[in-house]
């Protein structure tokens, strides 16, 4: 098969895999389409078995890390961490919707940064629905905050997003240096989102609410918080020791899992389900398909478009192109396609590409799998995410967050190198 035919077939299979992941007919897992597509690109010669294996081997530690964080987040939810956070926000805000929005922003930003965007979308969104109902507030601004913050607040740590894990591996940065470089872009994106939300949802936030009842207090899971704190400290220690941070995530998940099993609050089957093995398989298979797309022409196209310096204009261009690519083919394939091109230019272009693929998906439903998951949760609560509403909000937030976060990254790079 010549290069042009291989690229056409690979792109067709990638689009088919993504369409299947969006629709998920009969609730079938994403891997049902991704695994055959990966095998097909190998059989047709679009990617060699050796290159496919190398791509899988490279992604495997990232996927194990993802599985451990998913288990950790699920066990935190079962220990009541999210319910306690929602209860705390409701009490602190005292029936004032504007303060409630600020509380949801704070909780969603922290949960996204520490436990990944999936935890915010899947585990926090139902809690926010329940919290809004408890105080009689209109849920829309607070629920929309969950999906926007799941993307925008996922810039801070390597564990916040699967795209971060991929970029972290390619950047050559330590865990702490990654966090230091992304702290200001993270805060800038959240601040812009908050200002836009306050104006965009002004009518909903002015509708009023009432204080929660005092007899519904949720206990704080102290043991879970301690394990979570030690796990975060473990990320820093392992990074300084030159050990894969995934072992800290595995250790934290193992401690909570052992406790939950001993107390019969979960089962081995439940733990395996929480690790989402079929989704992990989907990520590995998707990596092979994207490898075929990149090697047969996309790398040349992206390389021609992307600047290779760390100047402000170059970083802005990289972030913008990454955002467009994320909305065209989803942010996970986008970062897989971008990294081989931007990684040789250093951490600055890698992190600019990450800003693009993490903030860009707030513009369209298909930009990230987290947004698609969020839509399903809204349907389960008899709510609709109107396309026009979602897009208008995205048009107001995405360009602004992209610019301020990229400028913040450039400033941080200039200050600390």
Summarised one tens digit per residue, pLDDT across range 380-413 is 777 777 778 889 999 999 999 999 999 999 999 9
Q: How many CB atoms lie within 10 A of CB 308?
A: 13
CA dist 283 and 124 (Å) reads 23
Mean of pLDDT values over 194-217: 86
The pLDDT assigned to 215 comes to 64
CA dist 228 and 231 (Å) reads 5
Q: How many CB atoms lie within 10 A of CB 25?
A: 8
The pLDDT assigned to 261 comes to 93
Distances in whole angstroms, Cα of residue 154 to Cα of each of 66, 84, 161: 14, 22, 6
Share of the chain above pLDDT 90, in %: 41
Q: Is residue 329 within 8 Å of residue 368, measured between CB atoms?
A: no
Q: What is the mean pLDDT of the chain?
A: 88
The pLDDT assigned to 112 comes to 92
Q: Tell me: the pLDDT tens digits for 8-64? A: 899 899 889 888 877 778 878 889 999 999 999 999 999 999 999 998 988 888 888
pTM for the complete prediction?
A: 0.84
Residue 135's closest CA among 203, 218, 215, 212? 212
* Cα radius of gyration (the chain): 21
Report which of residues 267 and 380 the model is more confident about.
267
- Torsion-angle region of 209 (φ positive above 0: left; ψ -120 to 50: alpha; else: beta): beta
CA atoms within 13 A on the CB side of 352: 31
Q: Tell me: the pLDDT tens digits for 293-338? A: 888 888 788 888 888 788 999 999 999 999 999 988 788 888 988 9
Share of the chain above pLDDT 70, in %: 99
The pLDDT assigned to 262 comes to 92
The pLDDT assigned to 185 comes to 97
Structure tokens at 175: 């865990």
The pLDDT assigned to 147 comes to 93
Distances in whole angstroms, Cα of residue 379 to Cα of each of 26, 235, 259, 401: 16, 36, 34, 28
Question: Has residue 156 got a pLDDT over 80?
Answer: yes
Question: Has residue 216 got a pLDDT over 70?
Answer: no
Question: Has residue 372 got a pLDDT over 80?
Answer: no
Question: Has residue 360 got a pLDDT over 80?
Answer: yes
Question: Has residue 201 got a pLDDT over 90?
Answer: yes
CA dist 319 and 68 (Å) reads 29
- Torsion-angle region of 346 (φ positive above 0: left; ψ -120 to 50: alpha; else: beta): left
The pLDDT assigned to 214 comes to 67
The pLDDT assigned to 374 comes to 84
């Amino acid at each position: 098969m010549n290069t042009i035919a291989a690229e056409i077939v690979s792109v067709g299979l990638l689009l088919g895999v993504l369409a299947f992941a969006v629709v998920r007919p009969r609730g079938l897992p994403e891997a049902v389409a991704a695994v055959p597509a990966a095998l097909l690109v190998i059989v047709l010669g679009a990617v060699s078995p050796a290159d496919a294996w190398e791509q899988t081997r490279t992604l495997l530690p990232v996927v194990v890390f993802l599985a451990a964080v998913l288990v950790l987040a699920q066990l935190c939810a079962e220990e009541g961490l999210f319910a306690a956070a929602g209860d705390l926000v409701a009490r602190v805000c005292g029936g004032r919707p504007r303060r409630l929005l600020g509380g949801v922003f704070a909780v969603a930003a922290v949960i996204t940064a520490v436990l990944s965007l999936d935890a915010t979308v899947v585990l926090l969104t139902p809690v926010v629905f329940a919290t809004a109902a408890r105080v009689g507030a209109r849920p829309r601004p607070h629920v929309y905050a969950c999906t926007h913050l799941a993307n925008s607040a996922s810039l801070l740590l390597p564990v916040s997003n699967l795209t971060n894990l991929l970029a972290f591996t390619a950047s050559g940065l330590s865990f702490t240096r990654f966090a230091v470089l992304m702290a200001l872009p993270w805060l800038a994106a959240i601040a812009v989102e908050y200002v836009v939300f306050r104006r965009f949802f002004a009518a909903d936030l002015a509708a009023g609410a009432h204080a929660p009842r005092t007899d519904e207090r949720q206990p704080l899971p102290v043991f879970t918080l301690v394990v979570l704190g030690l796990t975060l400290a473990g990320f820093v220690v392992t990074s300084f020791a030159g050990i894969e941070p995934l072992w800290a995530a595995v250790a934290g998940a193992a401690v909570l899992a052992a406790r939950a099993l001993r107390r019969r609050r979960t089962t081995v089957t439940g733990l395996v389900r929480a690790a989402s093995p079929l989704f992990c398989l989907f990520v590995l298979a998707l990596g092979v398909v994207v490898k075929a797309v990149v090697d047969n022409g996309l790398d040349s196209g992206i390389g021609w478009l992307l600047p290779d310096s760390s100047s402000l204009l170059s970083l802005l261009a990289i972030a913008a192109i990454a955002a467009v690519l994320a909305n065209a083919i989803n942010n996970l394939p986008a970062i897989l396609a971008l990294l081989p091109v931007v990684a040789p230019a250093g951490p600055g272009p890698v992190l600019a590409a990450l800003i693009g693929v993490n903030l860009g998906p707030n513009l369209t439903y298909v930009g990230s799998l987290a947004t698609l998951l969020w839509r399903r949760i809204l349907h389960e609560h008899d709510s609709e995410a109107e396309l026009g509403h979602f897009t208008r909000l995205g048009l107001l937030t995405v360009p602004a967050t992209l610019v301020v976060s990229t400028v913040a990254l450039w400033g941080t790079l200039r200050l600390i190198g």
